[in-house]
Amino acid sequence: QYSGVLVSFYLLTMSLRITFFPKLQLKPVLTVSDKILDLPLEKQDLFRVSELFTVKDLFDARVHLGHKKGCRHRLMEPYLYDSSLDYDIIDLDKTAEHLRRALNVTAQTAYGGGIILFISRRRQFCHLVENTAEECGEYAHTRYWQGGLFTNAHVQYGPGVRLPDLVVFLSTLNNVFQQHVAVRDAGKMNIPTVGVVDSNCNPSLLTYPVPGNDDSPVAVELYCRLFKTTINRAKDKRKQMDNKHDILLKSIIK
């Protein structure tokens, strides 16, 4: 079940290692920092992500409410449970499984010191998303998306810029109900994406789609809270491991 997570995270750590250790090592020398980075891969659910929410919490936050039958995207049909009076209902068991996977990926990226970018083009939630990003020490983009922010990064920002290692979409659509440009651009730049997809969105380009409601304030507040908690937990765990490693080194030197 976590094989997809393992492969993606291994690729992620490999890319991180390339940026930190420019000399390509033919035989991987296992240093202590490598052991710290591999710890989430060895233990299942190291960050106890499955304890953060239950299916009942998702139901209370109205995550299961989708749009009307006319707005339905063909590729979202596997994730829908039923439709009542033409309103689509999203299958919360599938949502829970996808959400757990997505939170695991976020946690492991944050644990490895990766950059996480939150994107949402909904004006209602712009302030909330920016606050969430600020509180967990990550980055947000809830404004007008300038053309080449990912694909033309070295011209837009300056040479030597580091792009995000994970992009989290709280809503994959922009103000004109078309797919956000960042979904395609992140795919072009090999950046893994996590996204909340409603019944009118296209889940195909996202790495870890999470079928769920992106219109209700309750639902979006729930997602923000969950992502913030996971990222903070992951960062605390990493700090803990680094401190343990430092104490161990000091005791060895003595």
Partner 1 sequence: MLMNDSSAAVSPQICGTPALRRKNLGAAGPEKFTPEFIQKQVEEFEIGKRHLANMMGEDPENFTQEDIDRSIAYLFPSGLFEKRARPLMKVRLSADLCFPPCEAVQWGPDGRPFHFLFYTGKQYYYSLMHDLYGRVLKVEKHQDQLRAKGLFPTEPKQIALGTSRWLTKEELEARLVEPISSQDYEYFIQLMERLLAMPCCSLEQQFVMSHRQQLEAQSMHQVVPPLQKDDAGVDFSTAEGRRKTSRGSVVVRDCGAGRLTVNGQDYLHYFPVLQDREQLMFPLQFCGLLGRFDLDCSVSGGGRSSQAGALRLAISRALLSFLPQSEGEAMRQAGLLTPDPRVRERKKPGQEGARRKFTWKKR
Q: Under the rule (CB under 8 A), what is the footprint of partner 1?
A: 15, 18-19, 22, 113, 115, 117, 127, 130, 133-134, 137-141, 143, 146, 149, 152, 154-162, 164
DSSP string, 7-32: HHHHHHHHHHHHHH--SPPSSPP--H
Least distance in angstroms from the C-beta of 118 to partner 1: 10
Least distance in angstroms from the C-beta of 225 to partner 1: 18
Nearer to partner 1, 73 or 141 (CB): 141
Nearer to partner 1, 176 or 253 (CB): 176
Nearer to partner 1, 56 or 123 (CB): 123
Nearer to partner 1, 48 or 239 (CB): 239
Distance CA 194, CA 172 (A): 10
SS3 167: strand
Nearer to partner 1, 35 or 143 (CB): 143
Beta bridge partners of 196: 210
Least distance in angstroms from the C-beta of 72 to partner 1: 32
Least distance in angstroms from the C-beta of 161 to partner 1: 7
What count of residues does the chain have? 254
Least distance in angstroms from the C-beta of 131 to partner 1: 8
Nearer to partner 1, 37 or 90 (CB): 37
What φ, ψ does residue 122 adopt, rounded to 5°?
A: -90, 125
What kind and span of H or E run contains 166? Answer: strand 166-169
Task: Using the structure block, give the residue that is written with the tokens 């999203």.
Answer: 90
Least distance in angstroms from the C-beta of 155 to partner 1: 3
Beta bridge partners of 139: 117
SS3 194: strand
233 Cβ neighbours under 8 A, 6+ residues apart: 47, 48, 107
Specify burial of residue 36 (Cβ count, 10 A radius: 0-12, 13-18, 19+).
middle
